[in-house]
Every structure is written in C-alpha cells, then in structure tokens.
Amino acid sequence: MKGFCKFLWYIFLILSIYLVYLLLRLNLVPTKYFIIGIIILIVVLIITYLISHKLENAFIMTLLSIIIMLIICVFGFSVYKLRNLNTFFSVNFDQSNSTDIYYVLVNSNSSIEKLSDISENKIYFYKDENIDKAKDKIDSNNFEEKQDLQELFNIIENDLENVLLINSGFYQTYVDAVSDYESKVKIIDEIEINVKKEEIENDDINVLNNSYVVFINGIDTRSGSLPSRSLSDVNILMAVNPNTKKILMVHIPRDYYVVLPGKNAEDKLTHTGTIGGVSYTIDTIKENFDVDVDYYARVNFNMVINLVNAVGGITINSDVNYAFTCKTNSNCRFLPGENLDVDGECALAFARERYAYKDGDRHRGENQEQVITKVIEKVTSSKELLLSFDSIIESLNGTFETNMSYKDMSSIIKNQINENSKWEITSYNVDGDGAMKRTFSYPNMDLYVMIPNIDTINEAKSKIDSLLKEK
C-alpha cells in the first residue's frame, strides 16, 4: 500500500506542475489568488509527501491514497478544462487569418445540384480581390465577368443553365434588397478561401487605465460562420472608461445613408461590410462620425444564443404598451411593460425584432443594447459566474473574431475578477429619416435608406468624447 501511495503522490506532483503551467499560460487568475493557491498547493504537497514516504501505518496509507486519488480526479478535470480554454484562446485571439466564402448559385429549378454537374455551363462572376482563388476551385474555363451586381443576379433568375460565382456578402445584399430572390435560386456549393485577417491600427492602449472605443459588429449568415465579407446588421460603438467604470453604447442603424471613403458615393452602412469587410465599415464610421475606433468585436448572431444560455438566461423588459410575438421565433412572446426571463433563443429573437415596432430598426437598436447591457450586468455582478467563466467563453467558440489581443482580454477578465466592479452602462441612438435612394452597391435600384440626422450624430460624438475624457 505504501508503494501505491507513493506512486499516486508522484502523479499528484506531475498534475500540480502541469496545472500551474496552464494557469500561468492563461494568466487569468489575479495575482493575490494565484499566490495563495500556490502556497496552499505546496503545503499540501509537502504534507502528503511526508505522510506517504515516512509513515508505515496501513490505515493512514489507505486513507491518504483515497484523498490523493480524489485530488487527482479534481486536478485532472481542471487540466482538461484549462487545456480547452487554451485551445479556445489560441483559436479566437491573435489570429492572422480569416475566411472569404463564395457561393455557387443556380436557378432553383435547375438540374444542376453540385459542382461536378457543371460541364459547358457559363459561369458568371463579379470581380473582387479573391475571386480568382475561388475560380481556381472550379474545374471550368468558361467564366465571364459582370460589373453590375443587379445584372449578375438577374442572369439566373429565369435561366436554368447559367451559373453564378459570387461572394456570400454580395449575395446577402441582394437578398436583403429583393426579398423573394432567395426562393428563386439555390446554393449548390460553398467555397472557402483563407485570407489575411483585417488589421485595425490603434495606439498602444492600457485597457485597465486608458479609455477606448470598441466597435460591435453583428452579422447574420446562413452558415453560422464568420465570412470576412458580410452585411453589417448590428453596428454599435461602445465607449469604455475603465477609470470611472462607465460604458456608453451608441447604436447606428444598419440603413444609415453614409459617405463611402474613397468612393465618392453613398451607400447603406450595412453594405460596407460586403464592400470591404469590418475594416471598411470602421473607416466609414470614422469618416461620418469623426470617432476613432480602437478595437472591434465581430460576432455572429449565434453568439447571442450561446452566451445568454451560458450565463443562465437574462431578464428582458418590453417597453411598449402592447404584447407581440417575435416574427423570427413564434415561441417568444413579450407582454407590455413586464420583465420576462428569457433563454438565448428568445433573447436573439428580441434583439432581431423590428416588425412589432412603429419605428422599426430604431427600436431594434434599443433592444440590442438592452440584451448586451443585461449580459454585462449579470456577468460583472456575479463572482460565481466570473469564476466559472470557462463555460461562458467556451460557448462562444467560433462565433466571433476580434482584433483585441489575448493579453488585453486577459487583463480585463483578471481585473474584473479581482475588483468585482459594478459598471454604469448607458446608451444613445442616432436617428434619421427614411427615404428611397440609389446606392453605390446598386446604382440602378431605389433602396430604403435612413438619411442621418446630423444633430444626433453630433450629440453622439459629444457623449463619446465626454465619457472617454472623464477621470
């Protein structure tokens, strides 16, 4: 029994060293807690070593063996969890690559069902920076370029033989503009192209002492992935002041009619994500709002479901005086003026709902801000949730990308665990008037846009500037 007990102790020692290594690598535990934990671990290792190597009592050896086996089980499970966390952070932070997704489209009644069915069929495409790489994935030389997106999409609407090769982002813009188009075509294949991740220049920011602005960019894709080009469906500027513990969220409507940098033209803000990705959306916001953006968090709507479920749900308040059922999820019904505990599915439905409101997208922006606020408040107000954050962040795997470094993110998490600070969160929505206008993306089509109200833009800039400068 003594030999077995010694054997268990050495396993305990090896697991302890590996556990400490993983914790150091993650750098998420506040220093004071880490030091206390190391001291306790060393004391336990010394005591168990002395007992297992010096005593001869069989009963004590048996009891100690059971205790060490229990510790090994706990440490083994902890190592498993920490390895998963390391994998999560390595996949989602500090990565230099992203993905472009291209759709191969045909008429919904076409006999073409897969790439191998394409023989002498003409394949039409719209030129962008990675289209040649996508063309190389198709065994055909029968390509023809079209320079007008509307003309391109019309090619297969009434033709069973022609094929389109198009960036998924451009396809989304057309489906968004022509609501019944999606029913007229079918996607027979998706081609993924590995591309360099877009970089956003920012100053060397100390996220614990310096104020900064994060651009929250929400996308909604059919595949649930994060293609580099996609409609910018949610656009929120989040100003953060870590010294005053204040956050201001400014929602910008997706249909805002904005000046495009370098294009001498105007378009809907949501289209900028397909024209040049998140970096171009940020450049557009900088030009139209004169606000510097330091970080971005680009998220798929699936993230809302996973995150809300991971924190155990949130409480939503409907601020209208009538009941409604969400169009995207008939199981989600909201009563007037009542607090309702919701899971991830209904939180997402609430954040996406616009048809239930007179002011549509404006109100949807308020709902999105409410969902974000409720999640932040729940996480930051519960040390138990913070300490079990592994399940929270694991739920986000593959649903977001950010240019914030892991070093900065770990500093924020570690500081919040240490201080358990309460944050004051406020919001503001810029406004405008609806109109029908031609856009850069579709110059031959009248699309609904929102003409910006300059007074609300100036007010937003003033609020952001004031919060960032507070001491």
Write out 10-70 in H/E/C secondary structure.
Answer: HHHHHHHHHHHHHHHHHCCCCHHHHHHHHHHHHHHHHHHHHHHHHCCCHHHHHHHHHHHHH
Q: Which residue has tokens 């974000």?
A: 372
Hey, what are 235's tokens? 């656009």
Q: Can you list the positions of beta strands (E) in 302-416?
A: 314-317, 324-325, 333-334, 339-342, 400-402
The reported pLDDT for the residue numbered 386 is: 59
Q: Which residue has tokens 């790439």?
A: 115
The reported pLDDT for the residue numbered 106 is: 95
**Is the pLDDT reported for residue 388 higher than 70?**
no
For residues 433-452, average pLDDT: 93
The reported pLDDT for the residue numbered 340 is: 87
Q: Which of the four pLDDT bands, split at 50, 70 and 90, describes residue 458?
A: very high
Q: Which of the four pLDDT bands, split at 50, 70 and 90, describes residue 19?
A: very high
Contact 239, 213 (CB under 8 A): yes
Q: How far apart are CA 100 and CA 277, in angstroms?
A: 10
Q: Which residue has tokens 């495409």?
A: 125
**Is the pLDDT reported for residue 11 higher than 80?**
yes
Q: Which of the four pLDDT bands, split at 50, 70 and 90, describes residue 385?
A: low
The reported pLDDT for the residue numbered 125 is: 94
pLDDT in tens, 204-236: 789 999 999 999 998 876 555 678 889 988 899
For residues 162-187, average pLDDT: 91
The reported pLDDT for the residue numbered 389 is: 65
The reported pLDDT for the residue numbered 426 is: 92
Pick from 376, 366, 309: which is nearest to 341 by CA? 309
Q: How far apart are CA 156 and CA 153, in angstroms?
A: 6
Hey, what are 277's tokens? 């990705």
Q: Which residue has the higher pLDDT, 438 or 406?
A: 438
Backbone phi, psi, residue 413, to 5°: -65, -45
pLDDT in tens, 404-418: 888 898 898 888 888
Q: Which of 4-18, 184-198, 298-312, 363-377 has the highest mean pLDDT?
A: 4-18
Q: Which residue has the higher pLDDT, 248 or 94?
A: 248
Q: How far apart are CA 127 and CA 271, in angstroms?
A: 16
Q: Which residue has the higher pLDDT, 321 or 469?
A: 469
Beta-carbon contacts of 284 under 8 Å, excluding residues fewer than 6 positions away, are: 258, 259, 260, 261, 269, 272
pLDDT in tens, 245-301: 999 999 999 999 999 999 989 999 999 999 989 999 999 999 999 999 999 998 887
pLDDT in tens, 318-351: 888 888 998 888 889 988 877 889 999 999 899 8
**Which residues are paired to 150 by β-bridges?**
none
The reported pLDDT for the residue numbered 372 is: 85
Crossing angle of helices 31-54 and 58-92, in 10° steps, is 150
pTM, two decimal places: 0.81
The reported pLDDT for the residue numbered 195 is: 82
Hey, what are 226's tokens? 């994060």
Looking at this protein, which amino acid is placed at residue 352? R
Question: How far is residue 223 from each of residues 94, 134, 168, 388, measured CA to CA in Å?
Answer: 24, 18, 10, 29
**Is the pLDDT reported for residue 119 higher than 90?**
no
Q: Which of the four pLDDT bands, split at 50, 70 and 90, describes residue 203?
A: low
The reported pLDDT for the residue numbered 26 is: 85
Beta-carbon contacts of 154 under 8 Å, excluding residues fewer than 6 positions away, are: none
**Is the pLDDT reported for residue 197 higher than 80?**
no
Q: Which residue has tokens 């900088």?
A: 286
Contact 332, 340 (CB under 8 A): no
For residues 107-132, average pLDDT: 90
Question: How far is residue 257 from each of residues 86, 251, 266, 414, 435, measured CA to CA in Å?
Answer: 42, 14, 6, 40, 9
Q: Which residue has the higher pLDDT, 88 or 458?
A: 458
In terms of DSSP bridges, do strands 324-325 and 400-402 run parallel, antiparallel, or are they unpaired? unpaired
Beta-carbon contacts of 46 under 8 Å, excluding residues fewer than 6 positions away, are: none
Q: What is the mean pLDDT of the chain?
A: 88
**Is the pLDDT reported for residue 394 higher than 80?**
no
Distance of CA 68 to the CA centre of its chain: 41
The reported pLDDT for the residue numbered 82 is: 85
**Is the pLDDT reported for residue 186 higher than 90?**
yes
Beta-carbon contacts of 223 under 8 Å, excluding residues fewer than 6 positions away, are: 101, 168, 190
The reported pLDDT for the residue numbered 223 is: 56
**Is the pLDDT reported for residue 185 higher than 90?**
yes
Beta-carbon contacts of 66 under 8 Å, excluding residues fewer than 6 positions away, are: none
Q: How far apart are CA 12 and CA 49, in angstroms?
A: 10
pLDDT in tens, 29-60: 888 889 999 999 999 999 998 888 888 788 88
